[in-house]
Structure 1
Amino acid sequence: MAGKIWEFFGYRADDCSAAAVQAADSRQCPFLGEVCEKRLSDGEIAGVCTIKPVKSEPVICCPIRLYAENYKVLSDVARIAFGGDLLLFAGAEAAKIARREERPVVAVFGKRWGGELRLPQKDGIGSYFVDWVLALLDAKGALQEFIAVEVQTIDTTGNYRNGRQGLLTPTRTNPATTAGLNWENVNKRILPQLIYKGQVLQREELCRKGLFFVSPGPVYQRIMGRLGGAAGLVRYALQPASITFLAYEHDTALNLPAGALVPLRALMPHSTTVYKVQEAFNNVTLPDENVYRDAIVAALNGPRR
């Protein structure tokens, strides 16, 4: 399926402002404030944040895109889990600040913040790891509880090199590409990992609000479709067995000037339990009976004349 690049080095592909051109020329990611870390197979810096399929809305394909506004998503998750407007600080630094200022804070463990936590491996595979851990500390810097956060966008298929090359030219042309989205990963990888990690976290005595899963809106909708729809996935209050889905989409309703980054807006969170997700995931919708037989018979009889 053909698609076009919709955001390139943070800016809309149709944005020809000096800021957009400068970001592309310097290969800078405006959400990180440094060179884009996404690479093509040959090592070239990709710069593609979002792909627009022909028949659907734009879909974020780079996780860093979700970290806009100085990782606002983590503050949103902390507010849902712990309440209030607690400040977030990197790892061990959070405990020092809590003790010095005598107030509760949230310690963040993850890439570029407090560092990823060292966790035991299972059969040589780091299957316990999550993208982020947010730990609530009291005014003495002592751990009270924590939550885990997984952030997932979507992998691409095909190729968007021609679109990338066009956007790097002075005229910023944006031709259609062969880029598509690997929706099958929702079934093969994302949901099984959520179920497994949700069960692991349920055994943690201080993980009282479970796992939060952050994704672009279209990925969330595809997951809900695979699980039979959000309406059928019973809502529960936050608990150790929780999985809370929190989706973000581009706020395209705003009349933004050239050179402005498109803000993201959060959709209503949906909290359920890992067991309801597992039950829905295993409840496969089967096709009509005898579909194999009918296909074989049709092939044997050949095309009608």
Structure 2
Amino acid sequence: MNPEIGKYPVEYYGYFYNDQSEEAIRSREKEQCPFLSETCKKRRKSDNDITIGTCSVGYKKRGQSEYSPHIICPHRFEVDGVFEELKPLFEDRGEFFRVPEVPLLGTSIDYVAGKRDAKGEVIDFAGVEIQALDTTGSVWPYKEAYEREEDMNEVDGSYGINWAMSITKTMMQQAWKKGHVFNDWGENIIFLLQDESLEYLHQNANTTSLHPAREDDPVHFYAYSMNYDYDEGEYILEIDSKVSSDMEGVSQMMNSSDEETPPTKEEFQRIVSDRF
């Protein structure tokens, strides 16, 4: 059971907003992201020198009676427990790796994870894309109230979740474009998202092709739930479901995007190796 929250930011700088532990206070004072072990990268659009520090916000979709935490920063997913769920996909031999920001098709893959041998050559791999949620409006007034120790419920402001941009456009366009490449290679691309996001996809797209994850499907979706750990006093991400689809199923969920010539599988593996 999760604690009762409202429509306001739930986590600041990696910690539950009312966490008064030494670690949480230090993280806020130094504007540190505990998931990256460096300064928070989520900045104000109007002033890039100012960190926002908001990892997740309280929100409830139409028909829901209670607010729940919705992740708005992709770095919130960058915890070991999330990546542990990828390991069963790969061969037993070799050392597990994850490499960030690997270039592909004029953009990049958030991570490439897999197994490498003692020489640093890639044995097995999968692309990993992290899908947080975009917001509309602004969470900044809540940050100001929070820092003044005022009640965030009383903030004169509002924000929303841009579901269409986050899920049916951004994520599914990536699934289509990059999914074709990984399908041609005989490999997988995995989208890490929240259970709330997968639920939105089911409600707003033709997801009849989704089924429990199969290795022979190129496009996978790993959905995680935000569950509150009362012993630790924090939200933890736990796997909720793993589903996958072939490219025909991805096509049913969205419109195809522009074609672009991808590298060969071997060329891509060399790119990954060069980033070790």
TM-score with structure 2 setting the length: 0.77
1:255 aligns with 2:234: no
Report the counterpart of residue 55 of structure 2 in structure 1.
49
- In structure 1, C-alpha distance between the alignment counterparts of 2:136 and 2:226, rounded to whole Å: 22
Q: CA deviation at 1:24?
A: 1.5
1:222 paired residue among 169, 192, 200: 200
Runs of 4+ residues over 4 Å off in structure 1: none
Separation of aligned partners in 2, 1:256 and 1:8:
19
Change (3 A) 1:246 1:234: closer
Alignment partner, residue 23 of structure 2: 19
Distance 1:261 1:30 in 2: 13
Q: Are residues 1:213 and 2:213 paired? A: no
Structure 1 segments unaligned to the other structure (5+ residues): 85-102, 111-115, 283-305
Please state whether the residue corresponding to 2:25 is helix, strand or coil. Answer: helix
Which residue is equivalent to 1:200?
A: 181
**1:279 aligned to 230, 243, 252, which one?**
252
Give the CA deviation at 1:20: 2.5
After TM superposition, the structure 1 = structure 2 runs for residues 99-110 of structure 1, keeping only pairs within 5 Å, are 104-110=94-100
- Corresponding position of 2:274: none
3-state SS of paired residue (1:32) = coil
How far did 1:195 drift?
A: 1.3
Give a deviation string over 1:253-285, Cα, whole Å, max 9, x none.
Answer: x3235xx43221111211221221212436xxx
Cα deviation code 1:5-42 (max 9, x no counterpart): 11111111232344333221221112222211110111
Residue from 10, 17, 42 that aligns with 1:38: 42
Q: Which residue of 1 aligns with 2:168?
A: 187
Task: Give 1:87's aligned residue.
Answer: none
The residue aligned with 2:90 is 82
Residues 267 and 138 of structure 1: CA distance in aligned 2, closer, same or farther (over 3 Å): same
- State the Cα distance separating 1:163 from its structure 2 match: 0.8
- Corresponding residue for residue 242 of structure 1: 218
* 1:107-146 correspondence runs (5 A): 107-110=97-100, 116-119=101-104, 121=105, 126-127=106-107, 129-138=108-117, 141-146=120-125
Residue 238 of structure 2 is aligned to residue 265 of structure 1: yes
CA gap 1:35/1:172 in 2 versus in 1, 3 angstroms: farther
* Aligned with 2:132 (options 140, 145, 153): 153
What runs of 5+ residues in structure 2 fail to find an aligned partner?
1-5, 256-276
Identity of counterpart residues, as a percentage?
A: 25
Larger Rg: 1
- Measured in 1, the distance between the counterparts of 2:8 and 2:58 equals 5
* TM-score of the pair, normalised by structure 1: 0.71
In structure 2, the residue corresponding to 1:130 is in which secondary structure?
A: strand
Give CA-to-partner distance per residue, 1:114-144, whole Å, 9 cap, x none.
Answer: xx3344x4xxxx14x2111123224554432
Q: Contact (CA 8 Å) 1:138, 1:144: kept in 2 or not?
A: yes
